[in-house]
Each structure stands twice: as structure tokens, then as C-alpha cells.
Amino acid sequence: MRPARLANQMGDYLIDMQTLEQALDFAPPQARTKQAPPSYSRAWVVVLVAADLTMFLLSSLLATEIGFKYWYYGRSLERMLIGDAVFIVLWLGMFQRLGLYQRSCALSVKDELYYTITALALGVLPQLTLFTIVPVISTSRLVLLLALAFSIVAVGGTRAALHGLRTANMLRRRRRVAVVGRRDRAVRAAARLGLGANAESLIIEVADVDRSVGHAHMTKDVDIERLRWFQEARRWRCDTLIMTEIVPSSIMPHLLEAAARDHILFAFAPPRLERHAYSLSLQTDGQQVLIVPSQLQACTPRARLMKRLLDVAVASVGILLTAPVLAAAALAVRIESGGPVIFRQERVGLRGQVFDILKFRSMRVDAERDTGAVWARSEDDRRTRVGAFLRRTSIDELPQLFNVLRGEMSLVGPRPERPVFVESFCRTLPRYDERHLVRPGITGWAQVHMRRLLDPSDAVEKLSYDLYYVEQWSLFLDVSVLLQTTVEVLFHRAG
């Protein structure tokens, strides 16, 4: 079966299985190629166990040495060492119990540390119980706490370092994703995966999953690996297998077992279910599996109330603290160029409503009379000297604190754009309108991660930051952005 190159920008591969029986029927036994499952995962488990064991041993011995030398001199050292051995055995058992030797590379360092600390803390409880029941192996609680503290630092640090090394190694490897389903759905799903340059997708066309699996009459004795499309995914050494069609539940346990043996991530990509401004969760009702959409956290009434209270409180204090700066800036603008001090411009806000944003005027009066709406430039000859200073120090944005008090803006959120640009972006950038699910902000997640938007081509990158903010909002994130903005304004722009 020879793959043909797809004639699209992705340069992926297409396997065309022409008949229904050929697509999902079982290959004859002699056609099956035996492949040993990769040993990398087992080797990695050995590395983890060895690293944990070493760090446990060093931490326990160090705690015992300190305890024996400074607090418990004269106590039986052999008895304390027996306690150390119990520490190590119970902690290794707790790590195994919590699955720390079965977790995938997709686990973040934060989660790795969380599970490590949890396992270490929980491991103390059975140790205290055992020492109470069997006094002969008991040791000091102080030594136990010291061993726990040393283990958190040593084991946690080692696991974080190993996780970083493994992640870097995985990123250097070329990722291969097999997408299985009807040709139109599989091609569309592959195009939407967002695979980087270090990845490729293998598209395997099948016509009808239910019918071919149905006549095969799956039982627990059937070898799922003999499915032709699964063979192709294995032959191409794919690490991810995505189905655009629903697989009959009767074969799912066998399919998952086979995928796990080959360390293949198995997932579904429903054809009509696309990422949008809501979160999804799976629930079961009897035998039925339900995909339940729910509001994003930022869009809930409770979140809006909390965010509004923060906005009003901080904006009110901000106006009081910056009153002298506001007065000085207004006076400087009026003296230099005359005309209005405050510049008003239409921007698109919450749910697409248009409002007038307030700024100190930094350009000549009627600067866009001849050009119309144009993008601001880093070296803009329309700016006045005072205006250039106000822009560089972000003082020109301070009047937007009044927009916040009026409920038109928030302290943190996607920066509002002009209606003419929003209309253009909504036509060309998918999901652009989702920025308007929250109030626009004086500063935002995009502003602390990239420079000012000076060109339409920057809008794609900026949108990714804005959507991340909308989807991941929390009060902590708002406070973090405010602090980063303050540092940026005081120590970078002002300099």
C-alpha cells in the first residue's frame, strides 16, 4: 500500500483504503507484522525509580545524621537506620500508588511537583501509624519531618530536571499523527490540528466504522491490532491516533489496550465540534455519554462581579494617586498645541458595543483628516513632542481609568480596536469576535508579552494571547498582569 503525497500546504500523507472491507476488516494472520512495543517507557521508569531511590536515601541519611548528632546522640543508630529503610519503602509505594511511574510526558513540571509533594506528604501518615504499632522500628518525628523536607527539595528538584530533559528530547523527535476517518473529515481535522514544523500527519481514509466492525463481531479473543488502519499507524510509528468517526463501544477496551501497549495516544475529533468560547466536559447518563458545554469562567456572573469590584476599587485609587500627573499632562498638551486635551475615539467593547475611549491627545489636531483610519507607527510624524513622551511613558492611557469607572472598560482585558479594524479582523481571523466576551482592558495579557500592535500582521499573535486570557481568566491572572504592567511602565518604558 503506497501512500500518496497530499496536494495541500501541509504536505501530509494519505492512505486510501478503497473498499469497506479493505478499510476495517481484519488482515489475515500471515499479513500481520510483529512489532515489539517500544522499551523507552520502561527504561524511563527505571530511571525515575533509581533517581527517586537515590534522593530518598540521601535525604533520609542526612536527616538521620543531623538528628543523631544534634538531638538524639546516644540513641541506637541501627534503629534509626531501620526507620530510614521504612521511609524509603513506604514512599516508593506511595509514588507507585499515585501513578508517578505511569504518567506521560505531557504532564507539566507544575503537576509533576504537585504529585511529588502530595505523595511525599501522604507517605508520612502510614509511617506514623506503623511506628505506633511496631515501636521497635520507630524513629523521631523530628527526623521524619526533616527527611520529608529534604525529600521535597531533592526528589522534587530531580524530577523537575528529569522532566525537562525528557520534554526537550521529545520536542526534538518528529511527531507523527494518524488521522482516521472519511477523507473529507480526516483532511479537515488534520488541517485544524495546528501541527508545527516538527510534525506530520498520516491521513487514513475509511468509509464506515460501524458496518465493518459489526460484521467482524468483536469478542475479547479478537486481536484488535489486526485492524488494517491500526497496522498502518503502527507501521508509520505514529505516536497519536485520532478518529473522526465514533468507534463502537464494543471494541473500545481492546483498542485502548492495544494503543497503550504501543504508547499511542488515542483521541476523537468530532467533525462538527470545534473549539469556541466555552469549555467542554464529559458526563455519563446511564449508558449515554454526554458532551456538556459550560460557560468560561470569565463569563460567569460571579466572575464578572468580582472583576468589576476589583476594577472600581483600583481605578478609584488610581485616579486619586495620579491626579497630579493627570493635571500636569493636561496642562502640557494644552500649552504645546492648543486644541482639546482629551482625545475621544470609537472602539469596540463588551459584546460588540461601541464606546468612546479616552486618551490624552498625543497627535496634531485632525491628524487623520487626510488619511482616514490608519495604524499607529513607532515613528509617527503626526505626534507632538509632548505626545511622544506621553506615549512612551503610557501616561496618555491614564484617562481610561474613567472608562473603567463608567463600566466601558476593565483594568485588564483585550485592548479595544476601532470598528473598521474589528470588521476586517472578524472576516479574516477565526474566533476574533470572542475577544468581546469580556470588557476590553487598559492593559492585557498580550500587552505584557508582545510590543504594541503596529501592523495588521501582528493581529494573529495578539489574538492568541487574547483568547488565552479569555479562556484562562482568574483574579490572580489579572493581578499578575497589573503587576507586570507596573514594572514595565516604571522601569522599562520610562527609562
What local confidence, expressed as pLDDT, does residue 32 receive?
33
Distance CA 312, CA 310 (A): 6
> 288-294 and 279-285: which strand pairing?
antiparallel
Give the largest Cα separation in the chain, rounded.
92
Chain-centroid distance, C-alpha 444: 18
Helix H or strand E segment including 412: strand 410-412
Whether 466 contacts 395, CB under 8 Å: no
Of the ranges 53-62, 136-145, 180-189, 467-476, which one carries the lowest mean pLDDT score? 136-145
More confidently predicted of 293 and 183: 183
Q: Is the dihedral of CA 470, 471, 474, 476 positive or negative?
A: negative
What is the model's pLDDT at position 369?
60
Q: Copy the grid coordinates of residue 491.
A: 522601569
Q: What is the mean pLDDT of the chain?
A: 75
The C-alpha R_g of the chain, in whole angstroms, comes to 31
pLDDT per position as a tens digit, 275-334: 666 677 777 666 666 777 777 888 888 899 999 999 999 999 999 999 999 999 999 999
Say which range, 17-31, 129-143, 213-227, 372-386, has the weakest mean pLDDT: 17-31
Chain segment 131-175, per-residue pLDDT in tens: 666 665 556 667 778 888 888 899 889 988 888 887 777 656 667
| Rounded distance between C-alpha atoms, residue 60 and residue 140, angstroms | 12
Beta bridge partners of 360: 342
- The rounded Cα 476 to chain-centroid distance in angstroms is 16
Of 399 and 148, more confident: 399
What's the confidence (pLDDT) of residue 127?
67
pLDDT digits (tens, 9 = 90+) for 245-264: 877 766 777 777 778 777 78
Whether the per-residue pLDDT at 443 is higher than 70: the answer is yes
Q: What are the residues whose beta carbons fall under 8 Å from the beta carbon of 7, sequence distance 6 or more?
A: none
Mean pLDDT over 390-408 rounds to: 93
pLDDT of residue 402: 97
Is residue 117 classed as helix, strand or coil in its secondary structure?
Answer: helix
Residue 202: pLDDT over 70: yes
DSSP structural state of residue 373:
S
Nearest to 105 by CA among 268, 263, 269, 267: 263
Asked if residue 359 has pLDDT above 90, the reply is yes
Residue 274: C-alpha distances to residues 189, 293, 430 (Å)? 10, 12, 11
Q: What is the reported pLDDT for 165?
A: 82
Could you tell me the domains of the chain?
4-35+174-274 (3.40.50), 40-171 (no CATH), 301-493 (no CATH)
CA distance 178 to 404: 49
The secondary element (H helix, E strand) that includes residue 253 is helix 252-261
Predicted local confidence at residue 454, as pLDDT: 55
Grid cell digits, residue 364:
496634531
pLDDT band at 28 (very low <50, low <70, confident <90, very high): very low
Does 76 have pLDDT greater than 60?
A: no
**Average pLDDT, integer, range 353-381:** 72
CA–CA dist 311, 407 (Å, integer): 9
More confident residue, 299 or 43: 299
Cα four-point dihedral sign 223, 228, 229, 232: positive
Q: For 14, how many CA atoms within 13 A lie in the half-sphere containing its CB?
A: 18
Q: What percent of the chain has pLDDT over 70?
A: 68
Query: What ranges in 30-140 are assigned the alpha helix state H?
Result: 40-70, 77-97, 109-133
pLDDT at 211 > cutoff 60 = no
Q: Which of 70-84, 215-229, 400-414, 449-463 has the lowest mean pLDDT?
A: 215-229
H/E stretch holding 16 reads strand 13-16
Alpha carbon distances (Å) from 342 to 219, 388, 400, 418: 76, 15, 11, 17
Report how far residue 300's alpha carbon sits from residue 420's, in angstroms, rounded to the nearest whole number.
29
* CA–CA gap between residue 286 and residue 311 (Å, rounded): 45
Question: Of the ranges 49-63, 172-186, 386-400, which one carries the lowest mean pLDDT score?
Answer: 172-186
| Whole-number percent of the chain with pLDDT over 90 | 20
Q: Which residue has the higher pLDDT, 35 or 62?
A: 62
Q: Which of 4-8, 102-106, 400-404, 430-434 has the lowest mean pLDDT?
A: 4-8
Q: In this structure, what are the phi and psi dihedrals at residue 117, rounded to the nearest 5 degrees?
A: -65, -40
User: What is the model's pLDDT at position 216?
Assistant: 44
Q: What's this model's pTM, rounded to 2 decimal places? A: 0.53
Q: Going by C-beta distance under 8 Å and a sequence separation of 6 or more, which residues neighbour residue 240?
A: 175, 176, 177, 178, 264, 265, 267
